[in-house]
Amino acid sequence: MRILVLIAIGLLLYIIVGSILRKNKQSSLSGGGAEKMVSCDYCGLHISEKEAVSSENKYYCSEAHRQTEKE
């Protein structure tokens, strides 16, 4: 009888710890949030929209490429 109680307690602990670890793993994966990527109209380099230089609905990886494209 003691063995059955110990097995039940062990199984319960296994289920509880497993569910806690799964929740932590899911929250860490979804918490990052992917940024929108755009490509430079001059050289094709992919860069995040936040870091890109934009002009006339076009994106560039640097101010130099934006200037070169305008010329």
Q: By three-state DSSP, how is residue 51 classified?
A: coil
Residue 29 has pLDDT above 80, yes or no: no
Q: Read off the pTM.
A: 0.53
Q: By three-state DSSP, how is residue 59 classified?
A: strand
Residue 69 has pLDDT above 90, yes or no: no
47-69 in b/e burial notation, b at 16+ Cβ within 10 A? beeeebbeeeeebbbbeebbeee
Average pLDDT, the chain: 87
